[in-house]
Amino acid sequence: MNNNQTVQAKKKQGRSTTAIHAGYHADPQTGALATPIYQTSTFVFTSTEEGARRFAGEEAGYVYSRLGNPTVTVLEEKIAALEKAEAGLAFASGMAAVSAVLMALVKSGDHILGTKGLYGCTYGLLNLMQDRFGVTYSLCDMKDEASIRQELSPATRVIYIETPINPTMELVDLKLVAKIAKEIGAYVVVDNTFMSPYLQRPIEHGCDIVIHSATKFIGGHGDVIAGVAAGPQSIMDTIRMTSLKDIGGIIGPFDAYLLIRGLKTLGVRMDRHCENGQRVAEFLHQHPKVAKVHYPGFAQFPQYELACRQMDGFGGLLAFELKGGMEAGIRMMNNVQLCKRAVSLGDVDSLIQHPASMTHSIVPPQEREKMGITDGLIRLSVGIEDIEDILDDLEAALAFA
């Protein structure tokens, strides 16, 4: 290897550079800088033989947009590069990604072990798979090795993780779970929505597959519903040709274009989310009406050391508990002006919600308490507005709490 090759081998692109440039191949005819939107359902073959080869998988190329589309390919290559995976897939929604991945990995009689506090629709999917298809599941807090091992069974095929967990921001040790999974031959699937690949890359810690609701930080602007997954080429190929193709939860080329555009600013947005999130957490920690703040960026956070080990930043998601309980939470929520009352997250806008009266209102109070969701808990997705404006809005609303 010559000196020039040595320099090239050692050089690695940064995360923002990867988000902007990965997957981009300029059209040699037009030189278009922006990724073109290939708004087509099907593709023309130059001959019957070419079509036959593509259907047989003997030749690369596009056949039908449910099976692949050039705009979507750029998005998939970007996600794979950012997550340090061999391949990526794009879907019509985050739940389309979750369902396609799980259905491709398990069969009747298999068992899935998940983290407590799973996203409600993921929990609903697990119930559906158990009731209709005989795939059992159990949930545990995964706080340590013993708690994980006691929930495993010989049928455990997948360990499914969300970290941080919504809305309490508790973390799961990715390396620990990966180690246990490899011992029993199970796959580790991680919902990485809360962090984005800019702040956390589970595959680097030994996990197998990463999933995102791309609606959130990847898109970043609240204007698209989408999902993505990344992992080994062989598994992604299997998912593409089975549960993605046959169930059909595909993303359209225009939505893929919006995500590609969103990814170009992922780095600057996430840096600002982290900066604003830290400032808001510190402000709330000192506020007399706030009992507790859940944010991994605090040295007082019980899993702060773990957060420093497996995350490159602490993000813009946090939760805080009001001393006044349910009524205080409702009053505070009703008096925000800049922060928007909405249940999504990861937008450039600051979004705030009250789980006890909104997303988790159907959960019995005693069950909510077990999940760490008190009546006065508020979840805040801190946006990228000027920090003083966010703090002023929160301070004014907290006066009513």
Q: Which residue of the set 157, 216, 272, 368 is catalytic?
A: 216
Are the beta carbons of 91 and 249 closer than 8 angstroms?
Answer: yes
Are the beta carbons of 91 and 251 closer than 8 angstroms?
Answer: yes
Q: Counting runs of H as helices and runs of E as strands, what totals does the chain give?
A: 17, 12
CA pair distance 365, 81, nearest whole angstrom = 43
- Angle at which helix 325-333 crosses helix 387-398, to 10 degrees, equals 130
**What's the topology of domain 266-398?**
Aspartate Aminotransferase, domain 1 (3.90.1150)
Q: Where are the domains of the chain?
A: 12-263, 266-398
Token couple for 169: 């921001």
Q: Please, which contacts does 181-187 make with residues 24 or more away whose CB atoms are closer than 8 Å?
A: 181/208, 182/206, 184/152, 184/156, 186/113, 186/156, 186/157, 186/158, 186/159, 187/105, 187/157, 187/158, 187/159, 187/235
Are the beta carbons of 317 and 347 closer than 8 angstroms?
Answer: no
Q: Name the strands in the sheet holding 111-115, side by side, starting at the edge strand that comes first in the sequence.
A: 87-91, 227-231, 209-213, 187-191, 156-162, 111-115, 136-140
CATH number listed for the domain at residues 12-263? 3.40.640.10
Residue 119 appears among annotated catalytic residues: yes
CA pair distance 56, 45, nearest whole angstrom = 14
Are the beta carbons of 97 and 74 closer than 8 angstroms?
Answer: no
Q: Which residue of the set 53, 66, 279, 331 is catalytic?
A: 66
List the one residue out of 244, 205, 221, 245 whose CA is nearest residue 55.
Answer: 245
List the one residue out of 325, 351, 338 whose CA is nearest residue 397.
Answer: 338
Q: Which residue of the set 119, 137, 160, 257 is catalytic?
A: 119
Which region holds residue 325: left if phi is over 0, alpha if psi is between -120 and 50, else beta?
left
Q: pLDDT tens digits, the chain, 401 residues: what are they?
A: 454 444 444 568 899 999 999 998 887 888 899 999 999 999 999 999 999 999 988 999 999 999 999 999 999 999 999 999 999 999 999 999 999 999 999 999 999 999 988 888 899 999 999 999 999 999 999 999 999 999 999 999 999 999 999 899 999 999 999 999 999 999 999 999 999 999 999 999 999 999 999 999 999 999 999 999 999 999 999 999 999 999 999 999 999 999 999 999 999 999 999 999 999 999 999 999 999 999 999 999 999 999 999 999 999 999 999 999 989 999 999 999 999 999 999 999 999 999 888 877 777 788 788 778 889 999 999 999 999 999 999 999 999 99
Residue 312 appears among annotated catalytic residues: no
Would you list the DSSP string of 70-98?
HHHHHHHHHHHHHTT-SEEEEESSHHHHH
* Secondary structure class of 185 (helix, strand, coil): coil
Residue 208 appears among annotated catalytic residues: no
Residue 137 appears among annotated catalytic residues: no
Shared fold status for 12-263 and 266-398: no
Q: Which residue of the set 173, 191, 208, 393 is catalytic?
A: 191
